[in-house]
Amino acid sequence: MSEKKHIISMLVEDEPGVMTRISGMFARRGFNIDTITVGKTNKPGISKIVVTLIGDDSTLEQVEKQINKLVDVTKVSEMGSGIIRELCLIKIKTPNKKVKDELFDYAKVYKAKFVDVDHRSMTLEIIGVPEKIESFIEMVKAHGIIDISRTGVTAMSRGIINN
């Protein structure tokens, strides 16, 4: 079986130790977390965790089974499709006007926002699917990336799903 990126969404109790139990399960089973995001939901006491991992379908099945065994987890679903986003802040060297002009052009194409500018660098914010962010990083890396901060993937299903 071929390996690919899987996105798993979990609704969990918003209590101390929940993240430790989930990450501990991944570590004990030898599953590597690629990215992880956590945030509150519209339901009091419930948070959403979105994890991405690389693996084949068998790995995904094992992870889902193990997560479902955790008492703090109320729902698990794989996000095969849906709305998938990540935010990236990237600081790039700008030694001259030519580089700055190129960054303005790239920002326009990728719909990135300038969030900080000084005499030697520019910091841009880009939001999109991970592939878009990777493509942007590839475009600007020749100019000299000073720093990158990525949030990890977050996801939501499209439309209304009855539970």
* Tens of pLDDT, residues 133-145: 999 999 999 999 9
| Intra-chain end-to-end CA distance of the chain, in Å | 31
Percent of the chain with pLDDT over 70: 98
Distance from C-alpha of 161 to C-alpha of 163, rounded to nearest angstrom: 6
C-alpha 58, offset from chain centre:
22
Based on its alpha-carbon atoms, the radius of gyration of the chain, rounded to whole angstroms, reads 19
The residue type at 105: D
pLDDT bucket at 163, cuts 50 / 70 / 90: low
Mean pLDDT value of segment 93-115: 96
CA–CA gap between residue 22 and residue 143 (Å, rounded): 39
Model pLDDT for residues 38-89, shown as the tens digit of each residue: 999 999 999 999 999 999 999 899 999 999 998 899 999 998 888 999 999 9
Does residue 6 have a pLDDT over 60? yes
pLDDT band at 162 (very low <50, low <70, confident <90, very high): low
Any idea which of 108-112, 145-149, 155-159 has the lowest mean pLDDT? 155-159
Q: DSSP label at 34?
A: S
Sequence-distant (≥ 6) Cβ neighbours of residue 67 within 8 angstroms = 8, 10, 22, 25, 73, 76
What single-letter amino acid sits at 60? L
- What pLDDT band is residue 123 in, cutting at 50, 70 and 90? very high
Q: Name the nearest CA neighbour of 80 among 9, 152, 163, 149.
A: 9
Token pair of 14 as six digits: 């918003």
In this structure, the number of other CB atoms found within 10 A of the CB of residue 93 comes to: 14
Tokens of 101: 């002009």
- What is the full DSSP assignment across 93-125? E--SHHHHHHHHHHHHHHT-EEEEE-SSEEEEE
Angle at 126 between CA 155 and CA 4, to 5 degrees: 45
Residue 161, pLDDT > 80, answer no
In the chain, pLDDT over 90 holds for what percent of residues?
Answer: 85
Contact 36, 51 (CB under 8 A): yes
Query: What's residue 2's pLDDT?
Result: 86
